[in-house]
């Protein structure tokens, strides 16, 4: 198979395949679950074939011409390949975990359809080289997200799902306006033809609005903690694998690869994101709901990713790209651990839990290890990403911002250790058994991978390095 | 020896850690045998490397100047020897003291992982692997403390966060250094502390002294003394962390930045050192628990090292570094003897102990030697290094720091007189467990490490020429002006100098203080410090200190929680209020107005259409223009 075919299959196998899931579901439940896992596995495996291309460093552009500048363009370069590998892999693990988590719920056909479609659209978004297709996939994801957040169909849950949908949809429409403004300047939606074009500051504002709403950055973030009413698998999917990484990825694709940031934007963005990071960490310190804490933690960590990208230097970009991987693994682990705990205790307030490490040792240890990675403690993977982002920030001369970022890391340490102590240590207030085998093995694997990704950081760094070199070349 | 050999001090303990973890809990002796063998092998390896001295290992790692670079030179080789020696003694001691611990697998895994990370940090010649190893110690620190009492987690979190704060400061310092010099290779960096580099210096200094446990980053150590296993205390705060922290401090002041005598930064270091000496020893004096008392001394003694290095005069630096290794030996010995007492009596409360010298003669002898050494009694190693630091302080031109160091010496000796008198000498307490069951000497694996350390204290004092010329003094080579002598051994043990005179006077004062307190407290040794404790004004300050008013962590947590609440209530909730209330209400109001416009009257709709047409026409008109 050549590169183009692999990429097209990566995008369309899950998108087309997702609609066959309910059909299989009509026949047999277990066949449907197996089929969903198979689709996830294929989607996760296909981008791996592209690793040699990524390491070689070049880019391949696939173009199917269409009217009105709506060419279907796929960009296959180290950045998109890296992103596809990370998202599809974490997504795949979450599908496996779902088997145990969701098996007694209703509407499972819809659940698996949406999850696989979700991952497929993410693949489409990642490879898209045309702003309009980027927007289309962006909105498909929003729709999947909307149905999934309100999956339990309680009145309150549906309202939260609406909130998430409205905020992100509004952001996306504003972003679309930005795209149209770019079109009026350059006459194209094709990112590959617009490289280096100068765009007005107002377009940047409009587009950033969309990115920040999707990547839940203060002040467009409060829908994300509220979205915690979703099944934990979905929350993990939103936080770790797909949804919130979209904005970050689009930032890298649009503002690093394509357009130079005009005016004062390079100065303003770091301040916005570091404040977002700090405020979210503070909120996580105050909250007592298990999933809301983790959600705020995501908002806080996303700030770091934006920070590294906004520095536009080698250390910052490498750090942010690694961050996407490390945060994906560790945050998925944290959410899935929380899922096991909530599933077993039927409680969400961390003050009502305690002593769970005795009955669920693997979950407890996995939670601690993933926490270390999110805090940024070596030898876990999260260390390298956070360290490089901060080093990049200092290197760009922003010592004050780096100090705030480090303070945020301290807060992260504080609240995550507090959560661990309250939930897993101390007196056992509501003892509960360990989760099912598929659930426990997934969290165990994620914790293990967080550790391995740190010790053997040189391997993911190779792909990241190829992407960074590519970006740095464009930035010059 | 090939450069690859440099990987072994890191890989060997790491592999042993994994093996120790995988051997099931019920298997007896096998794990201990492997660990003991491996630590003995590490000692051999460390000495072999010390003989080679110069070796470099460089491997590309993450691009941008981030390489996996290790470098062996005199100083790092010396620290490796020290680390390996303490690892062996602690492992030997643990075979008995920790046996039967329910989480014994984790214990050995953490201990050996600590050794691997510490060796890596010492060998690293690039800041990224350096921080990787250095900050990785947080994990094992946390793990080891949690192995103690049931309530130990609180202290473990405290230790983790305080050390994390110091590490983050250090990372900021490293970032600034990178931005300024453009390289991450440690051996290539040498900058003058000016401008932003001063910030870098201060930040890295916090990383170093925080690891060593200086004030105000010490508060977890006394808590850990109660909560964590005593072997941890002897291993980390007494030995490993001192070696690492002071190693880094010396690298910062000697190599990375050229600290100059009389400069502002030198003054900063000396102030921190002097304050740590005096304040921590005052706290140590009034403690009522053997281990807690020792832990405050572990803090206080760091002050001497920082003061010595901060003087930036050769004799002070040599004294500070010599004090580092001396302190590691006697403080490790002291904690181990406290552990030996705990092993046999089950308690370390001074009140409940007494008269153990008769039944535990070896432990008592080891304790006595180490206690005299830490107090700076002639001719033990503590005397030699402390005299050098006094000399350095006076040479630096600030006599006040020498006075602070002497004040520290008075109370150090006084508190060890109290501890020794209460535990080993004096009458047996009625509450003593010894009154219930007969007590005998601890088994050999516990006693031998204590005696070895005591013997080393004597050797390093009497034959101070050997360690000073082999280990310490060569560190300064290339760092002093040409022609200046760095050999301070000839007068190391002289008794008839003004400085030695004052030191001896201090010891006599301490003896007097103890005797006075002992008499006043009804001849109860554990009450000997009460006159100082009850002294007006001091009493109030002591009360505050006991209530953790001066505890950086306890106060910091209040601030963190407060700040978090302010940000949450001040920014996050108002933003959510906008979404939840203002936008929804506005939307509903707007929709209400629109729905009212839908009256069902034909004429109304016609008017809407007309208005719309006009608007579109105007828009097209505007666009066409």
State CA A10 to chain mean position distance: 18
Total structural domains in chain A? 1
Eight-class DSSP state of B471: I
d(CA B157, CA B165): 12
Pairing of strands A60-64, A72-76: antiparallel
Residues 258-297 of A with CB under 8 A from B: 278-283, 285-287
In a domain, A233, yes or no: no
> How much is the average pLDDT of B140-149?
91
pLDDT of B613 above 90: yes
Number of inter-chain CB pairs under 8 A, A vs B: 128
The CA-atom distances, in angstroms, between A21 and each of A106, B238, B424, B499 are 15, 62, 78, 87
**Nearest CB partner across the interface for B139, out of A279, A377, A413:** A377
Cβ contacts of A410 on chain B, cutoff 8 Å: 161, 164-165, 168, 560
> What's the CA gap between B132 and B129, in Å, rounded?
5
Closest-CA distance, B168 to chain A, in angstroms, reads: 6
Give the DSSP letter string of B197-249: HHHHHHHHHHHHHHHHT-TTS-THHHHHHHHS-HHHHHHIIIIIHHHHHHHHH
Contact criterion met (CB < 8 Å) for B568 and A414 = no
| Whole-number Å distance between alpha carbons of B54 and B102 | 43
Q: Give the orientation angle of helix B444-462 with respect to helix B314-345, to 10 degrees.
A: 160
Q: How far apart are CA A102 and CA B239, in angstroms?
A: 52
Of A286, A379, A393, the CB nearest to B565: A286
The predicted-structure confidence for B484-513, as pLDDT tens digits, reads as follows 777 777 777 788 888 888 888 998 999 988
Mean pLDDT within B276-295 = 91
Q: Which of B121, B163, B568 to mutate to test the interface with A (most CBs of A within 10 A)?
A: B568
Q: Rounded distance, CA B173 to CA B541, Å?
A: 34
pLDDT band at A42 (very low <50, low <70, confident <90, very high): very high
Report residue A431's pLDDT band, with 50, 70 and 90 as the boundaries.
Answer: confident
CA dist A471 → A182, A398, B62 (Å): 21, 21, 17
Q: Give the residue-averaged pLDDT of A342-363.
A: 89
Choose among A152, A170, A9, A144: nearest CA to A76: A9
CB contact under 8 A, B171 and A387: yes
Place of tokens 């504002």: A205
Q: Quote the CA–CA distance of A416 and A117 in Å, as a whole number.
A: 32
Q: Return d(Cα B269, Cα A379) in angstroms, integer.
A: 31
Per-residue confidence (pLDDT) for residue B482, from 0 to 100: 66
Dihedral pair phi/psi, residue B356, rounded to 5°: -75, -10
Q: What pLDDT is stored for residue B434 in this prediction?
A: 56
Which residue numbers of B have CB closer than 8 Å to A's CBs?
61-64, 128, 131-133, 135-136, 138-139, 153-154, 157, 160-161, 164-165, 168-169, 171-172, 174-176, 178-179, 196, 199, 557, 560-561, 563-568, 571-572, 575-576, 579-580
pLDDT tens by residue, A185-215? 888 888 888 888 888 888 899 999 999 999 8
CB contact under 8 A, A426 and B153: yes
**Element of type H or E holding A266:** helix A265-286
Q: Which of residues 97-126 of A touch B (CB under 8 A)?
A: none
CA A62 to CA A11: how far, in whole Å? Answer: 13
Judging contacts by C-beta atoms under 8 Å, the chain A residues touching residue B577 are none
The neighbour count for residue A407, using CB atoms within 10 Å, is: 18
- Give contacts of B172 with chain A, Cβ < 8 Å: 390, 394, 399, 402-403, 406
Chain B: give the shortest CA distance to residue A279, in Å.
Answer: 6
* Predicted local confidence at residue B433, as pLDDT: 61
pLDDT at A283: 94
In sequence order, the β-bridge partners of residue A73 are A63
A343 interfaces chain B, CB cutoff of 8 Å = no
Closest CB to A403: pick one of B136, B172, B580: B172
Pairing of strands A72-76, B55-63: unpaired
Please report residues of B whose CB lies closer than 8 A to that of A383.
Answer: 132, 135
List pLDDT tens digits, range B19-66: 999 998 888 788 999 999 999 999 999 999 998 888 889 988 888 888
Q: What's the CA gap between B586 and B571, in Å, rounded?
A: 21
Instruction: From chain A, pick out residues whose CB is under 8 angstroms from the CB of B165.
Output: 410
DSSP H or E run through B12? helix B8-22
**Average predicted confidence (pLDDT) for chain B:** 89
The answer on pLDDT for B436 being more than 70 is no
Which residues in chain B have Cβ-Cβ distances shorter than 8 Å to A285? 560-561, 564, 568
What's the complex ipTM? 0.93
| DSSP 8-state class, residue A104 | T
- Test the A interface: residue of B62, B126, B559, B580 with most A CBs within 10 Å: B62
Question: Which residue of chain A has the CA closest to B138?
Answer: A377
User: What's the pLDDT tens digit per position in B162-198?
Assistant: 999 999 999 999 999 999 998 999 988 888 888 889 9
Widest Cα–Cα separation across chain A: 66
CA distances for A395 relative to A469, B173, B188, B293, B617, angstroms: 17, 11, 18, 44, 56
CA distance B102 to chain A (A): 13
CA dihedral B494, B497, B500, B501 (to 10 degrees): 130
Separation of alpha carbons B347 and B290, rounded Å:
9
Name every residue whose Cβ is closer than 8 Å to that of residue B93 and which is 6 or more positions away in sequence: B231, B234, B336, B339, B445, B446, B449
pLDDT at B473: 83
Quote the CA–CA distance of B298 and A172 in Å, as a whole number: 59
Pick the closest to residue A322 from A245, A220, A236 (CA basis): A245
pLDDT at B435 over 60: no
When CB atoms are compared, the residue of A279, A315, A384 closest to B567 is: A279
Restricting to A residues 362-381, those with a Cβ less than 8 Å away from any Cβ of B are 372, 375, 377-379
Instruction: Report, as an integer, the average pLDDT of B9-16.
Output: 93
Give the pLDDT of residue B431.
66
How many helices and strands in chain B, by DSSP H and E? 25, 2
Smallest CA–CA distance, residue B361 to chain A, in Å, is 40
Q: What's the pLDDT tens digit per position in A63-99? A: 888 776 678 889 998 999 999 999 999 999 989 888 8
- The yes-or-no verdict on residue A385 having pLDDT over 90 is yes
CA distance A78 to A87: 14
C-beta atoms of B575 and A221 within 8 A:
yes
Q: Which of B139, B171, B550 is nearest to A406 (CA)?
A: B171
Interface of A with B in 197-226 (CB under 8 A): 218-219, 221-223
**Mean pLDDT of all residues in A398-405:** 93
Q: Can you tell me which residue has the tokens 């490089």? A: A388
DSSP A354-415: --TTTT-HHHHHHHHHHHHHHHT-TTSHHHHHHHHHHHHHHHTT-HHHHHHHHHHHHHHHHH
A377 and B178 within 8 Å at the Cβ level: the answer is: no
DSSP-assigned beta bridge partners for residue A196 = none
User: In this complex, do A391 and B175 lie within 8 Å of one another by their Cβ atoms?
Assistant: yes
In A, minimum Cα distance to B63 occurs at A465
Contact yes or no for B567 and A461 at CB 8 A? no
B132 closest CB neighbour out of A218, A318, A383: A383
Does the residue A69 lie in any domain? no
Q: pLDDT (tens digit, 9 = 90+) per residue, B204-245?
A: 999 999 999 998 899 999 999 989 999 999 899 888 999 999
Q: Which site among B145, B179, B555, B558 would you substitute to test the A interface, given the most A Cβ atoms closer than 10 Å to its Cβ?
A: B179
Whether A254 has a pLDDT exceeding 70, the answer reads yes
Chain segment A171-183, per-residue pLDDT in tens: 999 999 999 888 8
State which residue of chain B sits closest to A414, comparing Cα positions: B161
Q: A303: distance to nearest CA of chain B, Å?
A: 15
Kindly tell me if the per-residue pLDDT of A476 is higher than 90: no
Task: Please state the domain extents for chain B.
Answer: 255-479+492-535, 571-624
For residues A127 and B527, the model is more confident at: A127
Domain that holds residue A290: 264-476
Residues B161, A219: C-beta atoms closer than 8 Å: no
Does A218 sit within 8 Å of B575, measured CB to CB? yes
**H-helix or E-strand spanning residue B374:** helix B361-375
pLDDT for the residue A19: 92
Per-residue pLDDT reduced to its tens digit, A282-314? 999 999 999 999 999 999 999 999 999 999 889
User: pLDDT confidence of B132, banded at 50, 70, 90?
Assistant: very high
Residue A387 near chain B (CB below 8 Å): yes
* CA of A91 vs chain B CAs: smallest distance (Å): 27
Taking residues B406-425, what's their average pLDDT? 90
What pTM, to 2 d.p., does this model score? 0.92
| CA dist B61 → A429, A456, A459, A461 (Å) | 47, 10, 9, 9
Residue among A10, A53, A428, A472 at smallest CA distance from A257: A472
């Amino acid at each position: 198979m050549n590169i183009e075919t692999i990429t097209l299959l990566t995008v369309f196998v899950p998108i087309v395949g997702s609609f066959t899931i309910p059909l299989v579901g009509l026949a047999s439940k277990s066949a449907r679950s197996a089929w969903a896992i198979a689709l996830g596995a294929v989607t996760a495996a296909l981008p791996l074939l592209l690793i040699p291309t990524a390491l070689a460093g070049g880019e391949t552009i696939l173009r199917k011409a269409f009217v009105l500048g709506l060419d279907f363009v796929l960009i296959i370069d180290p950045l998109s390949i890296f992103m596809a590998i990370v998202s599809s892999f974490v997504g795949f693990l979450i599908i496996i975990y779902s088997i145990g988590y969701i098996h007694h719920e209703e509407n499972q056909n819809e659940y698996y359809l949406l999850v696989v479609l979700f991952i497929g659209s993410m693949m489409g978004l990642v490879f898209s080289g045309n702003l309009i297709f980027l927007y289309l996939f962006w909105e498909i994801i929003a729709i999947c997200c909307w149905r999934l957040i309100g999956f339990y169909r309680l009145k309150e849950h549906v309202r939260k799902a609406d909130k998430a949908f409205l905020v992100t949809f509004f952001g996306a429409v504003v972003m679309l306006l930005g795209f149209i403004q770019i079109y009026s300047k350059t006459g194209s939606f094709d990112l590959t033809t617009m490289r280096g074009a100068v765009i007005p500051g107002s377009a940047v504002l409009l587009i950033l609005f969309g990115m920040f709403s999707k990547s839940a950055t203060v002040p467009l973030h409060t829908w994300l903690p509220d979205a915690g009413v979703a099944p934990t698998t979905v929350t993990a999917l939103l936080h770790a694998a797909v949804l919130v990484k979209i904005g970050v990825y689009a930032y890298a694709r649009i503002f690093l690869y394509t357009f130079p940031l005009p005016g004062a934007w390079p100065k303003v963005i770091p301040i916005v994101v570091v404040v977002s990071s700090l405020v979210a960490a503070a909120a996580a310190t105050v909250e007592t709901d298990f999933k809301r804490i983790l959600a705020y933690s995501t908002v806080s960590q996303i700030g770091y990713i934006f920070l590294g990208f906004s520095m536009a230097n080698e250390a910052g970009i490498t750090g942010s790209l690694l961050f996407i991987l490390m945060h994906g693994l560790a945050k998925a682990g944290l959410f899935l651990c929380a899922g096991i705990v909530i599933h077993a205790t039927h409680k969400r307030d961390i003050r009502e839990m305690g002593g769970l490490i005795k009955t669920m040792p693997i979950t407890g240890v996995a939670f601690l290890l993933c926490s270390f990675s999110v805090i940024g403690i070596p030898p876990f993977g999260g260390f390298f990403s956070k360290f490089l982002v901060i080093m990049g920030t200092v290197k760009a001369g922003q010592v004050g911002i780096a100090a705030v970022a480090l303070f945020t890391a301290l807060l992260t340490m504080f609240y995550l250790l507090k959560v661990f102590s309250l939930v897993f240590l101390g007196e056992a207030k509501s003892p509960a058994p360990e989760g099912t085998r598929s659930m426990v093995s997934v969290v165990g694997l994620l914790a293990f991978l967080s550790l391995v990704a740190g010790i053997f950081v040189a391997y993911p760094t190779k792909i990241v390095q190829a992407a960074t070199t590519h970006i740095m070349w464009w930035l010059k | 020896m090939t450069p690859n050999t440099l990987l072994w001090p890191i890989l060997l303990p790491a592999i042993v850690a994994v093996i120790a973890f995988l051997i099931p809990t019920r298997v007896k002796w096998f794990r201990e045998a492997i660990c003991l063998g491996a630590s003995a092998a590490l000692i051999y390896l460390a000495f072999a490397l010390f003989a080679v001295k110069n070796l470099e290992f460089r491997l590309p790692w993450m691009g941008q100047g981030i390489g996996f670079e290790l470098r062996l030179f005199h100083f790092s080789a010396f620290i490796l020897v020290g680390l390996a020696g303490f690892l062996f003694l602690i492992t030997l001691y643990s075979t008995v003291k920790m046996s039967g611990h329910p989480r014994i697998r984790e214990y050995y895994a953490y201990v050996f992982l600590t050794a691997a990370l510490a060796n890596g940090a010492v060998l690293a010649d690039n800041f990224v692997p350096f921080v990787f190893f250095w900050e990785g110690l947080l994990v094992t620190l946390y793990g080891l403390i949690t192995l103690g009492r049931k309530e130990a987690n609180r202290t473990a979190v405290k230790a983790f966060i305080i050390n994390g704060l110091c590490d983050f400061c250090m990372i900021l310092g490293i970032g600034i250094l990178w931005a300024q010099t453009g390289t991450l290779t440690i051996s290539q960096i040498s900058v003058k502390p000016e401008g932003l580099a001063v910030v870098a210096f201060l930040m890295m200094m916090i990383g170093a002294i925080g690891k060593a446990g200086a004030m105000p980053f010490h508060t977890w150590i006394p808590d850990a003394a109660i909560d964590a296993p005593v072997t941890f205390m002897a291993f980390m705060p007494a030995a490993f962390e001192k070696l690492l922290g002071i190693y880094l401090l010396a690298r910062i002041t000697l190599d990375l930045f050229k600290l100059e005598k009389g400069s502002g930064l030198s003054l900063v270091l000396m102030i921190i050192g002097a304050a740590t000496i005096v304040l921590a020893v005052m706290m140590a004096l009034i403690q009522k628990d053997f281990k807690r008392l020792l832990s405050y001394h572990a803090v206080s003694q760091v002050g001497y090292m920082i003061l010595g290095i901060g003087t930036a005069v050769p004799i002070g630096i040599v004294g500070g570094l010599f004090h580092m290794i001396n302190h590691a030996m006697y403080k490790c010995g002291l904690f181990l003897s406290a552990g030996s007492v705990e092993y046999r009596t089950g308690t370390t409360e001074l009140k409940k102990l007494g008269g153990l010298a008769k039944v535990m003669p070896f432990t008592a002898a080891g304790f006595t030697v180490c206690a005299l050494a830490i107090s700076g009694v002639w001719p033990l190693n503590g005397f030699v290094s402390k005299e050098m630091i006094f000399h350095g302080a006076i040479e630096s031109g600030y006599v006040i720091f020498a006075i602070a160091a002497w004040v520290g010496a008075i109370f150090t000796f006084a508190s060890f007189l109290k501890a020794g008198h209460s535990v080993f000498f004096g009458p047996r307490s009625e509450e003593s467990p010894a009154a219930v069951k007969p007590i005998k000497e601890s088994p050999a694996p516990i006693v031998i490490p204590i005696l070895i350390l005591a013997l080393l204290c004597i050797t390093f004092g009497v034959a101070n020429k050997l360690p000073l010329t082999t280990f310490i003094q060569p560190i300064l080579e290339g760092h002093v002006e040409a022609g200046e002598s760095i050999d301070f051994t000839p007068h190391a043990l002289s008794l008839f100098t003004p400085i030695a005179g004052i030191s001896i006077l201090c010891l006599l004062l301490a003896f007097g203080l103890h005797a006075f307190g002992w008499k006043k407290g009804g001849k109860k040794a554990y009450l000997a410090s009460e006159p100082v404790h009850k002294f007006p004004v001091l009493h109030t300050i002591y009360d505050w200190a006991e209530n953790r008013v001066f505890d950086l962590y306890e106060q910091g947590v209040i601030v963190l929680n407060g700040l978090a609440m302010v940000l949450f209530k001040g920014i996050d909730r108002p933003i959510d209020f906008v979404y939840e209330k203002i936008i929804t209400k506005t939307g509903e109001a707007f929709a209400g107005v629109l729905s009212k416009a839908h009256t069902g009257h034909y004429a109304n709709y016609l008017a809407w259409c007309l208005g719309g047409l006009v608007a579109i026409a105007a828009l097209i008109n505007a666009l066409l223009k």
